[in-house]
Copies of this chain bind each other. A is one copy, B any other.
């Protein structure tokens, strides 16, 4: 029997010797050049250099060329700190997400960049790493940078964090979720409603023993689970032994383990709603390993409709959330407020969701295939 995974060392190995240090030889940390340096080199005053850089048309083209040359010669880069202090504008939009590396935030961040960068804003991204405490710290750090607006994922800030945001005096957009009591403006969707819809979707297709798996129980995962519970209760379906969760971060392997845990208790599982697509992919692989046909024996639906869902085999059904749209909308609202002082008519904007129906769930028309009971 061959090992599942065998590691073969090939490259050089990492050893502590790499860190043997020797006294620095060249502390030539030459001073960064400043506006004054450029001005001296170009033979003009500092103000003129500043203007040549900020408002080129206020400076004669001859001077501008001389200044550009000096800037290039000295590899001059303006100091944002000084600039911000003097001008009271930062052109920075603060963005806080739960994770920099979760695929869910990819489209959202891309939308923010796509919309804000061309308009001359800088996007300052921080990650709360799914921790309320860390989020609070990150909010403070971000405010220290005087962003002109803040776009934050989620609605579950700590009281202190919320207070900081309220007092910041800049527009705050809460995204991803929907709340009745936004700090300022709220652009999102009802995670609870989406969880309900996904579960109802499975119920509508004739399933009764519907499981739920979730990892990293953040507020959004909880809301989806509430939706699941409510849908099951509304349909008078029991959920005993059908739910498996873990506080660990979501991953494909966790998805396999979670469905495994349910199957070990409930071999009669008919359908599974996974709190996110990674879990769904893991569940699909686990079914393949156990020779359980998807969707004939078990239907699987994921959440977020990440890229891979559509091209898995079978393709995975998923609740699609308009993340790019949400990001674009948040960015546009922010720019409108900053630049023309116009605020949206509603403080609360529901971007909705859809269900992408694919091969991992049975279509409603098809007669129910029941999975043979294996002991």
Chain B residues lying within 8 Å of A32, measured Cβ to Cβ, are 146, 168-169
Q: What is the CB-to-nearest-CB distance from A40 to chain B, in angstroms, rounded to a whole number?
A: 17
A141 contacts B by Cβ under 8 Å: yes
Chain B residues lying within 8 Å of A4, measured Cβ to Cβ, are 310, 315, 358-359
A143 to B32, CA, bound (A): 10
Docked-complex contact B10 and A197, CB < 8 angstroms: yes
Docked-complex contact A77 and B356, CB < 8 angstroms: no
Q: What is the CB-to-nearest-CB distance from A79 to chain B, in angstroms, rounded to a whole number?
A: 6
A119 contacts B by Cβ under 8 Å: no
Docked-complex contact A353 and B11, CB < 8 angstroms: yes
Q: Report if A357-B6 is in contact (Cβ < 8 Å); known contacts: A23-B341, A24-B342, A313-B285.
A: yes
Q: What is the CB-to-nearest-CB distance from A246 to chain B, in angstroms, rounded to a whole number?
A: 14
A60 contacts B by Cβ under 8 Å: no
A345 to B18, CA, bound (A): 7
Among the listed stretches A101-109, A206-214, A231-239, A267-275, which one makes contact with chain B, having 4 or more residues with CB under 8 Å of it? A101-109
Chain B residues lying within 8 Å of A265, measured Cβ to Cβ, are none
Among the listed stretches A43-51, A216-224, A328-336, A367-375, which one makes contact with chain B, having 4 or more residues with CB under 8 Å of it? A328-336
Chain B residues lying within 8 Å of A189, measured Cβ to Cβ, are 11
A81 to B311, CA, bound (A): 47
Chain B residues lying within 8 Å of A5, measured Cβ to Cβ, are 310, 315, 356-358
CB under 8 Å from chain B, chain A span 1-29? 2-14, 17-25, 27-29
A352 contacts B by Cβ under 8 Å: yes
What is the interface of chain A mostly: helix, strand, loop, or mixed?
Answer: mixed
Q: Report if A31-B285 is in contact (Cβ < 8 Å); known contacts: A24-B337, A345-B18, A353-B10.
A: no
A55 contacts B by Cβ under 8 Å: no
Q: Report if A311-B253 is in contact (Cβ < 8 Å); known contacts: A75-B164, A81-B80, A341-B24.
A: yes
CB under 8 Å from chain B, chain A span 282-326? 282, 285-286, 288-289, 307-308, 310-313, 315, 320, 322, 325
Chain B residues lying within 8 Å of A80, measured Cβ to Cβ, are 81, 144-145
Docked-complex contact A8 and B357, CB < 8 angstroms: yes
Docked-complex contact B100 and A125, CB < 8 angstroms: yes
Chain B residues lying within 8 Å of A194, measured Cβ to Cβ, are 10-11
A75 to B343, CA, bound (A): 25
Q: Report if A11-B100 is in contact (Cβ < 8 Å); known contacts: A167-B75, A313-B285, A358-B4.
A: no
Chain B residues lying within 8 Å of A21, measured Cβ to Cβ, are 336, 340, 342-345
CB under 8 Å from chain B, chain A span 103-118? 103, 105-106, 109-110, 113
**19 A-B contacts (beta carbon < 8 Å):** A4-B315, A7-B357, A10-B193, A11-B193, A11-B354, A14-B351, A18-B345, A18-B346, A21-B342, A21-B343, A21-B345, A81-B82, A81-B85, A81-B145, A100-B100, A251-B308, A282-B308, A285-B312, A288-B313
Given contacts A18-B349, A19-B332, A113-B129, 8 further A-B contacts (CB under 8 A): A5-B310, A7-B356, A11-B190, A11-B197, A11-B353, A19-B344, A75-B163, A253-B308
